[in-house]
């Protein structure tokens, strides 16, 4: 339990600190005074001023924060030329989006490392049997894991979709598969089911036409970076679709089921860590994409909310009164905290009713 909690805190902290580091670097480059870079959340335990910035260690070990001069109101501005509120729209936009950019970069890095060490997936033109369900037509016919399907009724198959289409077209009929096993070729007759159990398919097998390749060591980081970038965009699309579904459900009067708060993320992190460092790193990449996209939602207190006010300034040529903007962000933060508490309570209920972390994971992926 202690190790799981420690890993969870470390993962969240890395995600948030990387995000805040983006704001920190861009603010410094733009000439904005960074008053404090905090590790953890207040109250402050210890702080040391280096240059013009206080670097603090705070009591609550979750993430971190960056405090910019003149970030919320004009009341405490002592250096107007160094204040965030006094900067131009383009500069503000760069500072706001820097955190999102850093989270995407972290995701790409995580995925790249995973591919570098675990190999590069490539299409092989071999439809390989990975798993066979009990009491399935494939099991009854004598198909084995590791078999490569070459033909269906004497027609060549090179990809999963081809194989599935040809087999499904012969549901309820005797179907001859030509397979390769241990460098030998043989024929097996199977009877695809008309009404298979959910998730099993007509034959009850799991197949893949993708194989893992291992390029020379010096090439792997480059391949890893390429596939890492593709994964970041893939998960970005998945997350956007997920958020879209959540909003559609909310406007339709339905409470979203598949929303996880801190407890849910803890459970998923714990499960990912069981499969090793690479699985955990891959999960961190997915979380980082989630955090990046969540932050650009135009809701007060989020980066997207701040960006929304920059957009209003651009549209009307006039700034929103800083005190009003600050108040709106404060209200947004309260709403976010209430939502997090509600989601956490729901997660705890699911965790208890599911009988622990493993049961919770099963309920999430049902």
Tens-digit pLDDT profile for residues 161-189: 999 999 999 998 999 999 999 889 999 99
177/189 Cα distance (integer angstroms)? 6
pLDDT-based confidence at 345, cuts 50/70/90? confident
323-347: buried (b, 16+ CB within 10 Å) or exposed (e) per residue?
eebbebbeeeeeeeeeeeeebbebb
- Provide long-range contacts, Cβ within 8 A and 24+ apart, for 125-129: 125/158, 125/159, 125/209, 126/158, 126/209, 126/211, 127/157, 127/158, 127/159, 127/160, 127/162, 127/163, 127/207, 127/208, 127/209, 128/207, 128/208, 128/209, 128/211, 129/205, 129/206, 129/207
Quick check: bond before 43 cis, omega within 30? yes
Residues 111 and 237 in one domain: yes
The residue assigned the tokens 């033909």 is: 151
Please give the structure tokens belonging to residue 35: 């008053």
The pLDDT of residue 211: 81
Residues 9 and 93 in one domain: yes
Tens-digit pLDDT profile for residues 101-138: 999 999 999 999 998 898 888 878 889 999 999 889 99
In this predicted structure, the answer to whether residue 277 has a pLDDT above a threshold of 70 is yes
Residues 241 and 170 in one domain: no
Domain membership of residue 224 (yes or no) is no
The pLDDT of residue 35: 95
State pTM to two decimals.
0.78
Please give the structure tokens belonging to residue 206: 């799991």
Domain membership of residue 220 (yes or no) is no
The pLDDT of residue 252: 67
The residue assigned the tokens 């590791």 is: 146
Residues 114 and 135 in one domain: no
In this predicted structure, the answer to whether residue 55 has a pLDDT above a threshold of 80 is yes
* Contact by Cβ (8 Å): 138, 151: no
38/294 Cα distance (integer angstroms)? 22
Residues 58 and 76 in one domain: yes
Residues 48 and 156 in one domain: no
Residue finishing a domain among 186, 213, 240: 213
Residues 247 and 167 in one domain: no
Domain region containing 205: 121-213
Residue finishing a domain among 213, 242, 261: 213
Tens-digit pLDDT profile for residues 219-258: 888 888 888 888 888 888 887 887 777 777 666 666 556 6
The pLDDT of residue 241: 81
Domain membership of residue 218 (yes or no) is no
């Amino acid at each position: 339990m202690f190790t799981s909690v420690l890993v969870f805190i470390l993962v969240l902290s890395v995600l948030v600190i990387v995000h805040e580091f983006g704001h920190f670097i861009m603010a410094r480059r733009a000439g904005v005074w960074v008053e404090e870079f905090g590790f953890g959340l207040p109250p402050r335990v210890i702080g040391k001023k280096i240059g013009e910035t206080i670097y603090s260690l705070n009591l609550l070990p979750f993430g971190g924060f960056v405090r910019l001069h003149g970030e919320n109101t004009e009341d405490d501005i002592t250096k107007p030329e160094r204040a965030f509120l006094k900067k131009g729209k383009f500069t503000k936009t760069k500072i706001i989006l820097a955190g999102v950019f850093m989270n995407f970069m972290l995701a790409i890095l995580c995925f790249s490392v995973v591919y570098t060490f675990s190999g590069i997936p490539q299409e092989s033109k071999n439809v390989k049997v990975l798993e066979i369900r009990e009491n399935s037509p494939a099991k009854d016919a004598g198909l084995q894991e590791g078999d490569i399907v070459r033909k269906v009724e004497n027609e060549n198959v090179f990809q999963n979709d081809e194989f599935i289409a040809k087999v499904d077209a012969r549901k309820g009929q005797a179907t001859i598969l030509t397979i390769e096993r241990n460098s030998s070729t043989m024929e097996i007759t199977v009877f695809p089911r008309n009404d298979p159990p959910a998730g099993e398919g007509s034959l009850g097998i799991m197949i893949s036409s993708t194989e893992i390749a291992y390029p020379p060591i010096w090439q792997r980081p480059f391949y890893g970076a390429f596939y890492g970038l593709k994964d970041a965009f893939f998960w970005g699309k998945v997350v956007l679709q997920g958020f879209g579904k959540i909003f559609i459900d909310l406007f339709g009067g339905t409470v979203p089921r598949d929303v996880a708060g801190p407890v849910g993320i803890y459970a998923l992190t714990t499960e990912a860590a069981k499969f090793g460092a690479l699985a955990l790193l891959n999960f961190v990449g997915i979380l980082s994409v989630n955090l990046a996209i969540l932050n650009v939602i135009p809701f007060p207190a989020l980066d997207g909310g701040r960006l929304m006010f920059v957009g209003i300034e651009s549209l009307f040529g006039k700034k929103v009164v800083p005190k009003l903007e600050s108040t709106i962000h404060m209200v947004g933060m309260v709403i976010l905290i209430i939502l997090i508490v509600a989601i956490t309570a729901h997660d705890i209920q699911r965790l208890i009713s599911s009988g622990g972390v493993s049961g919770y994971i099963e309920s999430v992926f049902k």
